[in-house]
C-alpha cells in the first residue's frame, strides 16, 4: 500500500512537473530567512513541507527544537533524514544539489560573494527593524541607494541578467527575496536602478516561481512579524 501511494504520488508529482516531497522547512510563519529557499524550491519544481513554529511557544520555551537546534535558532531544513541549520548554508546546499552554483569554482566564488552581499544587506535591515523601525527608517532609506548601487553595478557587468554567470544561481533567489522585502517597505526604491528592476521582473516571470509568488500560501505569509514593521 505504501509502495502504491508512493508510486501514485510520484506520478502526480511528475504530471505537475514537480519532484516528490523530501524537503521540510521548519520556521516561524514569516518569509524572513526562508523566502529565498522557497523561491529556489518552487522554481526548481520541488515540493516541500512546512513545519510552522509558533513564535509565542518558542519565546515561552515550549518548543523542544529551541534546545536542540545547532545554534539555538531556526530555520531548520530537512532533506529526508538529513537535517541542517543556517539559512545561507541551506541555500548553498540546495545550490550544489540543484546545479545552481555556477559552472566552475571561480563562478561559484563570485556567487558566494554576491550572496554574502545580500546577507550583509539583510543583516542591516533586520538590525534596524529589530531595534526600532519607526526611528531608524528614514536614515536607513537614505542610505539604501548606496547598497543597491553595488548590486546594480554587478548586474551591469553581466549580460545574462542574472547576478553572476549565465544561468540562475541560488544567489539570484536570495537577491530577489531581499529586493521584494525592500519594495514592500519602500515601493520606489528600485526606480533609479533599471538593472535591478529588470532582474526582479526576469526572476518573477519564471513560470514556476511566478505561480508560487501568486499563490495564497506565499501571499499570506508576512515578510516579518507584523509588530516589527
Ligand X SMILES: N[C@@H](CCC(=O)N[C@@H](CS)C(=O)NCC(=O)O)C(=O)O
CA distance 36 to 192: 24
Q: Which of 19, 24, 86, 158 binds ligand X (CB under 6 A)?
A: 86
Pick 127 or 139: Cβ nearer ligand X: 127
Return the SS3 of 22: strand
Please tell me whether residue 73 binds ligand X under the rule CB under 6 A: yes
CA pair distance 187, 72, nearest whole angstrom = 34
Smallest gap, in angstroms, from Cβ of residue 45 to ligand X? 24
In DSSP notation, 137-162 reads HHHHHHHHHHHHHHHHHHHHT-TTSS
Pick the binder of ligand X from 31, 33, 182, 195 (CB under 6 A).
Answer: 33
- Interatomic CA distance for residues 202 and 218, integer angstroms: 19
Instruction: Name the residue nearer to ligand X (CB basis): 31 or 195.
Output: 31
The only residue of 32, 35, 117, 165 in contact with ligand X, by rule CB under 6 A? 32
Rule CB under 6 A: say whether 75 interacts with ligand X: yes
Segment near ligand X (CB under 6 A); pick from 80-88, 100-108, 144-152, 174-182:
80-88
Tell me how far, at minimum, the Cβ of 222 lies from ligand X, in Å: 13
Q: Cell numbers at residue 163, please? A: 547576478
118 counts as binding ligand X under rule CB under 6 A: no
Task: Please report whether residue 117 would count as binding ligand X according to CB under 6 A.
Answer: no
Q: Which is nearer to ligand X, 75 or 102 (CB)?
A: 75
Of the pair 75, 165, the CB lying nearest ligand X is at 75
Size of the site for ligand X (CB under 6 A): 8
Of the candidates 207, 109, 98, 205, the residue with the CA atom closest to the CA atom of residue 165:
109
Strand partners, 65: none
Rule CB under 6 A: is residue 158 a binding residue for ligand X?
A: no
Cβ contact 182:125 at 8 Å: yes
User: For ligand X, which is the closer residue by CB, 33 or 195?
Assistant: 33
DSSP SS3 for 15: helix
Find the radius of gyration of the CA atoms of the chain.
Answer: 18
Contact between 74 and ligand X per CB under 6 A: yes
Amino acid at each position: 500500500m505504501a509502495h502504491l501511494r508512493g508510486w501514485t504520488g510520484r506520478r502526480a508529482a511528475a504530471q505537475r512537473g514537480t519532484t516528490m516531497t523530501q524537503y521540510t522547512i521548519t520556521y516561524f510563519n514569516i518569509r524572513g530567512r526562508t523566502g529565498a529557499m522557497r523561491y529556489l524550491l518552487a522554481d526548481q519544481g520541488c515540493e516541500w513541507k512546512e513545519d510552522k513554529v509558533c513564535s509565542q511557544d518558542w519565546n515561552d520555551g515550549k518548543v523542544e527544537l529551541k534546545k536542540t537546534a545547532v545554534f539555538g535558532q531556526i530555520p531548520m531544513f530537512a532533506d529526508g533524514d538529513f537535517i541542517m541549520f543556517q539559512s545561507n548554508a541551506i541555500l548553498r546546499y540546495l545550490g550544489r544539489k540543484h546545479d545552481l552554483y555556477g559552472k566552475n569554482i571561480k563562478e561559484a566564488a563570485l556567487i558566494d560573494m554576491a550572496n554574502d552581499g545580500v546577507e550583509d544587506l539583510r543583516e542591516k535591515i533586520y538590525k534596524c527593524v529589530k531595534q526600532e523601525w519607526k526611528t531608524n527608517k528614514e536614515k536607513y532609506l537614505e542610505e539604501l541607494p548606496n547598497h543597491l548601487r553595488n548590486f546594480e553595478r554587478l548586474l551591469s557587468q553581466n549580460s545574462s541578467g542574472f547576478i553572476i554567470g549565465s544561468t540562475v544561481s541560488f544567489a539570484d533567489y536570495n537577491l530577489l527575496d531581499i529586493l521584494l522585502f525592500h519594495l514592500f517597505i519602500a515601493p520606489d526604491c528600485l526606480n533609479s536602478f533599471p538593472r535591478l528592476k529588470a532582474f526582479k521582473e526576469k526572476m518573477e516571470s519564471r513560470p514556476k516561481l511566478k505561480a508560487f509568488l501568486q499563490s495564497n500560501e506565499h501571499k499570506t505569509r508576512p515578510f516579518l512579524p507584523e509588530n516589527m514593521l
